[in-house]
Structure 1
Amino acid sequence: MPLNSINTNAGALIALQNLNTTNSELGVVQQRINTGKKVGTAKDNGAIWAMAKNQSATASSLNSVKDSLQRGQSTIDVALAAGDAITDLLGKMKEKVLAASDTSLNTASFNALQADFVSLRDQITKAATNAKFNGASVADSTTQKLSFLANTDGSQFTVNVQDLTLTGLGLSGTFTFTTAADAKTKLADLDKAIGTATNKLAALGTSSTGLDTHLTFVGKLQDSLEAGVGNLVDADLAKESAKLQSLQTKQQLGVQALSIANQSTSSILSLFR
């Protein structure tokens, strides 16, 4: 038989305990809805929080990898643009040489062809030396290779430099002709230079494709990491919304139960009337 006491109201204490539990659960659900996360701090779940933080750091650091790879793409794109111009210049030089090999030309025409040839030759040097992006080039002999970030562990994606200068194409800075017969002998040199240039551009194209492929992979990897972190810490808002409704109803009932429990001791007064 329960004790009728005005000092201790066991029913009110139980109702209060249940109401406090409900309020605590309601606070957790409201925080999840406000933040969108079921694990927002280490207090919520230390192991999951630490795992999510580590993976988030990895995903964020991949931005640096993507930036580096994109710089590599731009560097190669600039070199390819210069290479296209250089192959066009070599073709025009071949036209001038072929025209100058005609022995029926007068001196003025020959000299004009020779001047045009020298101008085209010098443009090749300018195109190769100016093919830089952010101060780096894969089209001249200033370096043998360039390396770009490939992963968060510091591993590198290496691009071999393809020297498109006159020297790299097997020609000299003074490459020219002085007579019609001399001009004819330069045809073979130019054919070889054109072949060398196209092979070097093909190699750069292969490197560019490799960078594109790896950049796509890094982007997918980053997306997968971010999705994985979301699976660990994100709250299911539909579920939390349903739970919120339930807890709010439970809270109201708890308040009523506590009120009833508090009123129960007033019945003792009737014993003294």
Structure 2
Amino acid sequence: MTTSVHTNSSALIALQNLNNTNSKLSSTQNRISTGLKVQGAKDNAATWAIAQNQRADTSALDSVKSSLNRATSIADVSLAAGAQISDIIVELKAKAVAAADPSASEASRKAYDDEFQSLLKSLQSFADNATFDGENILNGTNAAVPLSFLASADAQEKIDLNRQDLTLAGLGLAADATVTPNVDAPSLLETADAEAALARVEQALQTSNSRLAELGAQAKQIEKHNIFVGKLMDSLEVGVGNLVDADLAKESARLQALQVQQQLGAQSLSIANQAPQIILSLFQ
């Protein structure tokens, strides 16, 4: 083996080993400080790409959940108003039945009719004011066009909330001059009028119950889909964690071992650097 003051191979090897240990130690410290074993494409390109795709899906599903939450709120407001409308129709039927009594006096029918007309106005008011975030699905506007909401991360799947016309016109309780013969607004002032009003109210009750049942079924579907999206987001988050999260227990143990290796490497380099001094003893 050649002894030289110009080239210290032992020191070079010791330095390489120390640099390698320092690099591993730096990576371990980064994993501990960030909690991630894959922080970027440089750490593991394939795993990072998969994780980024899953993060994108999770972010998109967050928008889907916001859309479904809005759908739930619109449905809840509409169902609350619809329940009130249904209760009003029940009251309307009671007034119409009372006014259809042949023995009822004119004054009694006038009182029943006053209440009846007041209830009709309340019904229309509830339908007109069942609004959430600018959307009303009970007032008869765009009745044939459903309200659609996001249902998938790629925005290709939609979930619909059908508009249900619960206005006086939609329930057949309003005057209608467009048909022949013309249909007057229901009245209880005469026995025949009360009987005709009762028939229209009974039909309105069936119509409202059918439409509210459909609305309730769609609201339940939206609720279940919202729960599914929430669970899907949780699963994706766990999946990303499995790919990129560091095992801090293992990293802590690795940190201790690398710190010892670093100290030993530094001592080894120090010993190797002192080796050329042995040459001085040859010239004494």
TM-score normalised to structure 1 length: 0.95
Q: What's 1:163 paired with?
A: 165
Q: What's 1:70 paired with?
A: 69
Give the whole-Å Cα distance in 1 for the aligned partners of 2:236 and 2:34.
20
Gaps of 5+ in 2: 176-184
Residue 11 of structure 1, CA deviation: 0.7
Give the whole-Å Cα distance in 2 for the aligned partners of 1:94 and 1:72.
32
Identity %: 52
Q: What's 1:192 paired with?
A: 203
Deviation digits for residues 157-213 of structure 1 (CA, Å, limit 9, x no counterpart):
112112111222232242223302321332222122112111111111100110011
**Tell me, what secondary structure is at the counterpart of 2:221?**
helix
2:274 is equivalent to residue 263 of structure 1: yes
Q: Is the 8 A contact 2:186 2:196 kept in 1?
A: no
Give the whole-Å Cα distance in 2 for the aligned partners of 1:101 and 1:141.
30
Amino acid at match of 1:212: E
Give the whole-Å Cα distance in 2 for the aligned partners of 1:182 and 1:270.
131
Give the whole-Å Cα distance in 1 for the aligned partners of 2:282 and 2:226.
85
Residue 106 of structure 1, CA deviation: 2.8
Given the alignment, which residue of 233, 237, 252 partners 2:244? 233
Residue 92 of structure 1, CA deviation: 0.9
**Tell me, what secondary structure is at the counterpart of 2:160?**
strand
Deviation digits for residues 55-80 of structure 1 (CA, Å, limit 9, x no counterpart):
10110111111111111111111111
**Tell me, what secondary structure is at the counterpart of 1:166?**
coil
**Tell me, what secondary structure is at the counterpart of 2:205?**
helix
Q: Is the 8 A contact 2:186 2:193 kept in 1?
A: no
Q: What's 1:3 paired with?
A: 2
**Tell me, what secondary structure is at the counterpart of 2:37?**
coil
2:93 is equivalent to residue 94 of structure 1: yes
Give the whole-Å Cα distance in 2 for the aligned partners of 1:181 and 1:206.
38
Give the whole-Å Cα distance in 2 for the aligned partners of 1:96 and 1:258.
103
Equivalent positions of 1:79-228 (< 5 A) are 79-143=78-142, 144=144, 145-154=146-155, 155-173=157-175, 174-228=185-239
Count of paired positions: 272
Give the whole-Å Cα distance in 2 for the aligned partners of 1:124 and 1:185.
19
Amino acid at match of 2:18: L
TM-score normalised to structure 2 length: 0.92
2:43 is equivalent to residue 44 of structure 1: yes
Q: Is the 8 A contact 2:41 2:48 kept in 1?
A: yes
Give the whole-Å Cα distance in 2 for the aligned partners of 1:105 and 1:166.
27
Residue 124 of structure 1, CA deviation: 0.9
2:52 is equivalent to residue 53 of structure 1: yes
Give the whole-Å Cα distance in 2 for the aligned partners of 1:185 and 1:169.
15
Residue 220 of structure 1, CA deviation: 1.1
Amino acid at match of 2:211: K
Gaps of 5+ in 1: none
Give the whole-Å Cα distance in 2 for the aligned partners of 1:157 and 1:19.
61
Residue 87 of structure 1, CA deviation: 0.9
Give the whole-Å Cα distance in 2 for the aligned partners of 1:255 and 1:9.
16
